[in-house]
C-alpha cells in the first residue's frame, strides 16, 4: 500500500447507522440506517461487529450470513499469517512490517476491536518510517471513534500529536487537525474544535474519518456558535469551500446567513430544523443538542439586544417570530442565569439592555481616549492658526 493512501477502516458510517437505530425518536430514519448498516457489514465481512450489532438487537441474526463471514475472515487471516511467516523466514524488516500491517488492517476492517488494537500496536513497534507510524496511531484513534471509546481516542491523539511534532508531514498534520477537531466537538469544546476544523477547511483530505460534506457541516455548526460576526462572514459565508457545498446543506445555509443578516424569525426556524435534522440524529452531536440550541438562542438575543438600549417585548417577539409570553419566559430564564445583560420592565413592556462590566470598562476607555485626542487636536489647532 502506498504511503499516501489511508484506508477508510473501520467504516465510521456504520456506528452512525447503529446510533440511529438505537434512537426510538428517529423511526423515519430506521429503514435506511438498517439497510446501510447491513450492507456495510457485508461489504467488509465484519463478522465480529455483526455479532455485537445483533446482540444489541439492532439487526436480526442471520446465522447463515454470520457463518459465511466468519469462514471468510478465518481464511483471510490464515493467508495473512502465512504471508507473515514467509516474511520472517526469508525477507527483511520492512517486509515483516508490511505483513504485520496487512494483518492489523484486516482485523481493523472486520471490527475485531481488541485483536485489531493489539495487532496495530505490534505493527507500530516494527514500523520504522515516521509517516507510517503516525498513520497507525491515527488508525487506533479511528478504532476508538468507531467503538465510542474516548480513552482510546484521547490516548492515541496525544501520541499522534507527539509524533507529528517530531516529524509529521503537511498532510498528516492537516488530517490530525480534523481528528482532534471532531473529538473536541464530541466533548462539547466547540470553540477549539471549530478553530481546528476551520484550519483544515482548505486542505481537507481526511475522508477516512468523515465525508467532506459532513466535515463542512460540522465546521459551520461550530463556527456559527463561536465566531464573531465579521469572522463568520469572512471565514464561512464567503469561503469557497463552504459555498461549494451549501446547496447540499440548505438548513445550515439558512442558519448561518439569517443569523448574520439579523433575520431572527427565519434563524429560529432554521435552528429548530437543524436540531431535528443534524443534531439529534448525529452520534457526535446528539448529547449536546439541547446545549447547542440554547447557546444559539442566547447568541441571537445578545446580538439583537446589543444594538439597542431598549426594546419593547412586542417588537422583540416579532423579530423572532414568537409570542410575547415565550420571549418573556425565555429572557427571564437567561437573565436569571447571568447569560443576558438586560432587565425586563413588565409594567411598560420594555427590555432594557445593561452593559456588562467589561463593556462598561471598554466604553469608558474609548470615551477617555477620545477626550484626550480632542484636547490634543484643539491644542494643535491653536498652534497652527
DSSP string for residues in 20-40: HHT-TT-HHHHHHHHHHHHHH
Q: Is the pLDDT of residue 5 over 80?
A: no
| Residue range 121-178, pLDDT digits in tens | 999 999 988 999 999 999 999 999 999 999 999 999 999 999 999 988 899 999 999 9
pLDDT of amino acid 89: 87
The pTM for the full model equals 0.88
Q: Average of pLDDT values for 235-240?
A: 95
Q: CA torsion 83→86→88→90, rounded to 10°?
A: -140
pLDDT-derived band at 93, boundaries 50, 70, 90: confident
Q: Is the pLDDT of residue 2 over 50?
A: no
Cell digits for 230? 465579521
| Residue range 332-371, pLDDT digits in tens | 999 998 899 889 988 888 999 886 655 555 655 666 666 6
How wide is the angle at C-alpha 150 spanned by C-alphas 149 and 154, nearest 5°?
A: 125
| Residue range 34-85, pLDDT digits in tens | 999 999 999 999 999 999 999 999 999 999 999 999 999 999 999 999 999 9
- Where are the chain's structural domains? 1-146, 169-281, 296-354, 358-384
CATH tag, 296-354: 1.10.10.10
Cell digits for 352? 432594557
pLDDT of amino acid 235: 95
Give the single-character DSSP code of 278: I
Cell digits for 299? 447568541
DSSP string for residues in 72-106: HHHHHHHHHHHHHHHHHHHS-HHHHHHHHHHHHHH
| Residue range 184-226, pLDDT digits in tens | 999 999 999 999 999 999 999 999 999 999 999 999 999 999 9
Q: Are 205 and 175 in contact (CB under 8 A)?
A: yes
Amino acid at each position: 500500500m502506498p504511503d499516501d493512501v489511508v484506508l477508510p477502516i473501520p467504516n465510521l458510517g456504520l456506528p452512525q447507522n447503529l446510533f440511529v437505530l438505537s434512537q426510538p425518536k428517529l423511526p423515519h430514519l430506521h429503514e435506511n440506517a438498517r439497510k446501510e448498516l447491513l450492507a456495510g457489514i457485508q461489504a467488509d465481512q465484519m463478522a465480529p461487529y455483526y455479532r455485537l450489532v445483533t446482540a444489541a438487537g439492532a439487526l436480526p441474526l442471520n446465522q447463515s450470513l454470520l457463518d459465511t463471514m466468519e469462514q471468510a475472515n478465518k481464511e483471510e487471516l490464515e493467508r495473512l499469517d502465512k504471508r507473515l511467516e514467509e516474511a520472517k523466514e526469508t525477507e527483511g524488516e520492512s517486509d515483516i512490517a508490511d505483513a504485520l500491517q496487512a494483518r492489523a488492517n484486516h482485523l481493523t476492517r472486520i471490527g475485531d476491536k481488541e485483536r485489531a488494537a493489539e495487532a496495530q500496536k505490534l505493527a507500530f513497534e516494527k514500523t520504522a518510517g515516521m509517516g507510517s507510524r503516525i498513520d497507525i496511531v491515527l488508525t487506533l484513534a479511528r478504532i476508538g471513534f468507531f467503538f465510542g471509546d474516548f480513552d482510546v481516542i484521547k490516548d492515541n491523539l496525544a501520541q499522534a500529536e507527539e509524533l507529528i511534532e517530531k516529524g509529521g508531514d503537511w498532510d498528516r498534520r492537516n488530517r490530525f487537525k480534523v481528528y482532534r477537531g471532531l473529538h473536541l466537538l464530541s466533548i462539547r469544546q466547540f470553540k477549539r474544535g471549530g478553530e481546528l476544523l476551520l484550519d483544515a477547511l482548505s486542505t481537507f483530505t481526511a475522508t477516512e474519518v468523515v465525508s467532506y460534506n459532513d466535515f463542512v457541516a460540522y465546521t459551520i455548526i461550530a463556527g456559527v456558535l463561536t465566531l464573531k460576526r465579521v469572522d463568520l462572514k469572512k471565514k464561512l459565508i464567503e469561503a469557497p469551500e463552504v459555498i461549494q457545498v451549501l446547496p447540499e446543506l440548505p438548513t445550515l445555509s439558512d442558519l448561518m446567513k439569517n443569523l448574520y443578516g439579523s433575520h431572527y424569525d427565519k434563524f429560529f426556524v432554521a435552528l429548530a430544523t437543524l436540531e431535528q435534522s443534524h443534531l439529534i440524529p448525529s452520534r457526535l452531536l446528539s448529547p449536546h443538542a439541547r446545549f447547542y440550541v440554547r447557546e444559539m438562542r442566547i447568541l441571537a438575543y445578545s446580538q439583537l439586544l446589543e444594538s439597542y438600549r431598549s426594546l419593547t417585548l412586542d417588537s422583540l417577539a416579532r423579530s423572532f417570530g414568537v409570542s410575547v409570553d415565550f420571549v418573556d419566559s425565555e429572557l427571564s430564564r437567561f437573565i436569571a442565569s447571568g447569560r443576558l445583560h438586560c432587565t425586563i420592565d413588565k409594567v411598560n413592556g420594555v427590555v432594557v439592555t445593561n452593559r456588562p462590566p467589561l463593556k462598561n470598562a471598554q466604553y469608558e476607555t474609548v470615551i477617555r481616549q477620545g477626550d484626550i485626542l480632542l484636547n490634543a487636536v484643539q491644542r494643535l489647532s491653536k498652534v497652527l492658526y
